[in-house]
Chain A
Amino acid sequence: MESLHPQPVPVSMPAREASRPSLSRRLWRSVRTYPMLYVGGLIVLLLVIAAVFAPVLAPHNPDTQFQDIGLNAEGTPVGPNATFPFGTDSVGRDVLSRLLYGARVSLIVGIVSTLINLLLGVVIGLISGYFGGWVDNVLMRITDVILAFPVLLLSMALVAVVGPSLWTVLWVIGVVGWGTMARVVRGQVLALKEFEYVQAERALGASHGRIMFRVILPNLMGPVIVLSTLNVGANILTEAGLSFLGIGIQPPTPSWGNMIQEGIQTYTFAPWTMWFPGLALVLAVLGFNLLGDGLRDILDPHSATRR
């Protein structure tokens, strides 16, 4: 109501400025309120920087086999040192450089496959929840079918028949993993479509498309963003699992999953070949999980379930 009684501007403005905490203090308060959000965001940011600037940051070419300085006299990998900060692998390649390039694979697969999950899940969930009736029944049974297949197993089968490559992995995970998103979106739509502002649009003669995509969709963004963020982490793990099994990203292209696989041969005498790719993976997934949980605290405070 204050706005109805204009205050003498010159007097109130400086006073308000003074009482307002400084930017750094406000940031600090926000960091203390949402620590997960900021820690997660920082990890994800570092990951993006590592992926984008891999050619600049990598000390060596990820595919160069340093058979002279990169291997010991017995032909075993060299441990972490000044030239190779994270050591070398079984054929004398720099582990750090491969990790940085591996971040590209993880991020591209994680994010693009999530976008496909998102597109399919949101469209199917929206239509299902909005129209209800037999449409809902059919779409939800289809969702049940896709949810019955464990993502990794169905991806394994699909990749096996199509042939492994970055694009296959990306598409397969995208097409297989939309079930949870569709269910969550449908649940939200069922609640939202009863709200008065949605009813009002309908009374005004808005088309179904307009109501679904212009009225309901913007109100779904909270849970959808949270779920997508967590989904990126899950999809990164699926890609790593596929690559670990040898049916994902194919060597010599570095992926954290296939680096762990290659590390199995050397890890009894050169454990770093397996430790570092695993740590990178944990950190990346943790980053997205923290960010997702942190975003939920802000965007979707009522829901407490996950997966």
Chain B
Amino acid sequence: MYAYIIRRLGSAVVVLFGISVVSFLLIYAIPADPARLIVGPKAPPSVVEGMRHQLGLDQPLPLQYIHYIWRLLHGDLGVSYSFNLPVLTMIGQRLWPTVELALGCWIAELIIGIPLGIYTARRARRMSDFILSALALIGISLPVFWLGLLLLYWFAFRVPIFPLGGFGGLRYLVLPSLTYGITGAAYYMRLLKSSMLEVMEQDYVRTARAKGAGESRVTWRHVVRNALIPVVTFGGIDFSYLLTGVILIESTFNWNGLGTLAYTAIQNIDIPVIMGTVLLVAVAVVVFNLIVDILYAVIDPRIRYS
């Protein structure tokens, strides 16, 4: 098992290195001149040159990359062009709202998706399964920002139960989470359903039935537990989709998190902030998947040897 974990860690380090190269190239190999962006379009060429020197842009690219990595490893993501604040500080201020929203969205997905998956698997090929599966397909096709606006319209504007967007307590979290929950739950539902249908065919399920186990014991003890394995894997993959959804939801619900930060930075062409956010998200995705894979190897011994 340790060999597997070490191998997995090694590849994660390589991927993190790749991510740093991509975000570095995005910052420096771009047609727009960062020095020109900072000093403004009217500054004389000598000032631009001075800024280029100050930013180290007159050095060869590999050397610039080494400096970039060095700063990254010291937690220095650069300074925002438009706010003149360290990017790390700006991200730090916005991190918690995004984590809170992401957690809310994820929980909503599971609360809707898992029970529906179990229900449709047990009712496979009946009318209720057919209707729910059709609804799931529609759910997958819904643009998350549009659904958010619809929910805002009905449950905050027409029937004012919830606030009209913004970040705050639990009441503010309900509609955004529900928005993502509705669009994302369908994946969990479909995955769990097909996985359960597969497990139901297994010999050990037949054995359990033959030994006289009741239907609910078979479902919960034998089928659901084993069918959850691919669902756990998908949880890792889903993380990246979750973050995409969160960006759009933040913008829809005026939620002051990382997505809004990246969005504002893009409006201002504030490249250090854009790249800092992109880098952070990519690193989070890699680390999250690493943790899922390792936990997975600990839980399921079959994985380690494949």
Contact = CB atoms under 8 A, between A and B. Distances in A.
The DSSP consensus for interface residues of chain A is helix
Nearest to A263: B149
A150 to B, nearest CB: 4
Contacts of B30: 161-162
Contacts of B283: 148
B248 A151 contact: no
Interface of A: 141-142, 144-154, 156-162, 233, 237, 240-241, 244-247, 257, 260, 263-264, 267-268, 271, 274, 278, 281-282, 285-286, 289-290, 293, 304-307
B213 interface: no
B1 interface: no
Contacts of B244: 150-153, 241
23 contacts: A144-B15, A145-B19, A145-B22, A147-B240, A148-B282, A148-B286, A149-B22, A150-B285, A152-B247, A157-B274, A160-B269, A160-B271, A161-B30, A241-B244, A263-B149, A267-B153, A268-B157, A278-B143, A285-B141, A289-B140, A304-B194, A307-B187, A307-B237
B248 A153 contact: no
A161 B271 contact: yes
B278 A145 contact: no
Interface string B135-161: 001101111111001100100010000
B39 interface: no
A140 to B, nearest CB: 9
A154 B22 CA distance: 10
Contact of A264 (B149, B230, B277): B149
Contact of A286 (B137, B240, B269): B137
Nearest to A288: B141
Tell me what chain B mostly uses at the interface: helix, strand, loop, or mixed: helix
Contacts of B142: 282, 285
A286 B248 CA distance: 20
B72 interface: no
Contacts of B265: 160
A257 B248 CA distance: 12
Contact of B262 (A153, A244, A293): A153
Contact of B143 (A162, A282, A290, A306): A282
B266 A156 contact: yes
A281 B32 contact: no
Contacts of A145: 15, 18-19, 22, 282
Contacts of A257: 143
A122 B141 CA distance: 25
Contacts of B149: 260, 263-264, 267, 274, 278
